[in-house]
Structure 1
Amino acid sequence: MKLRYLLSILALTGFLFAAYKVVTGNKPVPVAPAVVEPASAPFKAFIAGSGIIESKSQNIAIGTPLPGIVVNVAAKVGDKVKKGMPLFYVDDREIKAQLAIKQADLAKAHAGVTIAQANIADSRSLSQLAEAVIDKRAISREELLKRRNVLAIAKANLAGALASVQQAQAAVIDIKTTLDRLVVHAPVDGEVLQVNIRPGEFAQAGEVNPPLLLLGNLDQLHVRVDIDENDAWRFNKNRSAVAYLRGNRAFKVNLHFAYIEPFVVPKKSLTGDSTERVDTRVLQALYSFNPSKELTVYVGQQMDVFIEAQDYSPEPEAVKVVPTTAAP
């Protein structure tokens, strides 16, 4: 009897618990508040776009014209460099050995010129002696002609020796040029943004991702703004523009129009990978602003950009139909 009551109580308890879970589970889940409030446009009519910060000179991906093992990296992240300063050095021992060979060839070519000049002097002396004989019966005509030909051959040998000197000099210049190309120099004044090469690593020539070294001029920053192609017709470079820092909308900066790239491209703002799917094409406009201590920003950082636009909302009576003339 007690067991039957106990089972009834347990069944009733389970039913009440299940009913409670059903009732509480049907309540709507409260929406979590945003960690950071999104930026809002300060204009009545505007174009919104995502902007990415880049240097004034654009971000220059430094490469090497010749592959090889890096022996020394002269630049560090954050260094301010001048145009022409060395950034890193590629192993040049083999090229220096070739330079020594070419310089020896040049010395040999100079010696050949000296020998050719001595042969000319000797041939000229013999020829002058033969020409100075008053009695032509004392020397045969054949011998006289032979001495003239020897002098002409000596002059030709001198011209060949001089050409060999020029060739050897060109070879030395070529090797020295190769040596100079093994030292990678800064193409512009700027700041080192990234270093992805270390001594002992192999530097590959051509396009490398990530680049061996990233350089940019940070005296002034640019914001590359992606404007949706659907809003491109509304864009006016003379309108005001403002950018908000992502993560804190209290930080903003007024932008100044720099230039526009009049070529609509696929939008790639996430990874930039060539296999990334894109479903939007954008017009890219670049705005400039001066960095300040109050606004801490970094190259590669994204910003929310709003560009003032004219309100083109058409009135019903303002819509005009353009007549078309049918072809006869």
Structure 2
Amino acid sequence: MSRPKSMTAWKTRSAAVGAIAIALALAALAARTGERESARAARPESADEKRWQAVAPGRVEPVSGTIKIAAPVMGVIAQVLVKVNDKVFAGEPLIRLVDTEARARLAAAEAQIAFRMRARNEEAAPAQTARPTPAAPQRRGEGAAADTDKAAARRRAEDAVAGAVKAAAQAQADLDKAAVDRRAGTASDATVEAAGAALARAREATRQRKAELHRIEADPGTPLPTFADGQVNVARAEAAAAAAALDQLTIRAPISGTVLQVNAKPGELAAPSNAQPLLVIGDVSALRVRAELDERDLGDVKVGQPALIRSDAFRGREVAGKVSFIAPIVGQSRINGRGQRNVTDVDVVEVLVDVVQPDPLAVGMKVDVYFQLEGR
């Protein structure tokens, strides 16, 4: 049985349309390649322009990268302590979440420590004051006294570590307050520096106390903790967990740098899963360009190669740079790529170019990078 003529005609038209679409796509690709080559050929043949053959679009970013900061835990924002263009140091508080419940849990844990310590000390007091009787064997009396002394030394070392940890936490709180007060104009740089030095000393003291405790615990003659000792240690561990939970409600700067973007307001709900970061910071003291090099030009670019950076915002001005990194993988453009990939899209290689003199470039600015071919 023969097929209907209408179906045959429809298939013929479909094949023709498909062939035309493919031809148009290939023509567009050829035109794009031709335009690229024509643009190169149309460049002025001056001695300067002949040196710059490979060209790539890019965007300016801090050498540190742009760090997007989110909340480590879910909570309501109580304070936003910084604004755009503020300079911050590593560890400086940026945002505070509501912490009423967390502070209450920490206070309860510290009260439990005090209660357990009293019970421990009352239990240890008779053993520390007891003396061997004349009828007891001298060796047994000396051994018991030695065990008691070592147990007391371990307790003193544990208490010293706990005290040092608490002092370091207070030093951190003092530094946070000094940093906030400086932004409010009620504290000086010297106050912040002094608070930072005090925190460093407190942390070093904590390290030394922990080292002494480890030395005592490593002594085979040190007796094992009693039940009361264990109760104190459990209470301290619970307090440490409460303190860590409280500290998470203060969002700090991971690096020293500049606040580039603020998306947080008091009263809003912050969560780790938020698509938009609360803050964006970066170290703008040194800039680089993240450029996307056409894969066909990859053979013309090497690490250490000089480059020239130009921006439409500053026509006639050129900024020197140097290639610092070439990605080992080819991929799709993220600067110009939008939506579904087309046949005419060109795969690119990510190249980082360190900027020798950042001025007048700004973070996020779109630029063109001209790479100097070797031997030119």
TM-score tier by shorter-chain length is 0.5 to 0.7
Q: Distance in 2 between matches of 1:172 and 1:271?
A: 51
Q: Look up the match of 2:249.
A: 182
| Partner-residue secondary structure (3-state), 1:230 | helix
* Kept in 2: contact 1:116–1:157 (CA 8 A): no
**What amino acid does structure 2 have at the position aligned with 1:75?**
V
**What amino acid does structure 1 have at the position aligned with 2:98?**
D
Do residues 229 (structure 1) and 307 (structure 2) align?
no
Paired residues in the alignment total 242
Q: Look up the match of 2:230.
A: 163
Do residues 90 (structure 1) and 156 (structure 2) align?
no
Do residues 192 (structure 1) and 256 (structure 2) align?
no
Q: Relative to total residues, which structure has the larger helix share, 1 or 2?
A: 2
Do residues 268 (structure 1) and 275 (structure 2) align?
no
2:367 pairs with 300, 303, 310, which one? 303
Q: Distance in 2 between matches of 1:40 and 1:298?
A: 27
| Partner-residue secondary structure (3-state), 1:224 | strand
Q: Distance in 2 between matches of 1:48 and 1:303?
A: 11
The within-5 A match list for 1:37-76 is 42-43=49-50, 46-76=53-83
Q: Distance in 1 between matches of 2:256 and 2:225?
A: 49
Q: Look up the match of 1:251.
A: 317
Runs of 4+ in 1 over 6 A off after TM superposition: none
**What amino acid does structure 1 have at the position aligned with 2:353?**
Y
| Partner-residue secondary structure (3-state), 1:105 | helix
**Structure 1 residues 263 and 111: CA distance shift in structure 2, 3 A:** same
1:172 pairs with 239, 245, 263, which one? 239
**CA positional deviation for 1:259:** 2.6
Q: Over the residues paired in the alignment, what is the CA RMSD in angstroms? A: 3.1
**CA positional deviation for 1:108:** 1.9
**CA positional deviation for 1:277:** 3.6
**CA positional deviation for 1:271:** 7.3
Q: Distance in 2 between matches of 1:121 and 1:238?
A: 71
Q: Distance in 2 between matches of 1:251 and 1:121?
A: 81
**Structure 1 residues 105 and 236: CA distance shift in structure 2, 3 A:** same
**What amino acid does structure 1 have at the position aligned with 2:114?**
A
| Partner-residue secondary structure (3-state), 1:77 | coil
For structure 2, the 5+ residue unaligned runs are 1-41, 137-222
Do residues 81 (structure 1) and 148 (structure 2) align?
no
Q: TM-score, normalised by structure 1?
A: 0.65
The within-5 A match list for 1:121-132 is none
Q: Look up the match of 1:149.
A: none
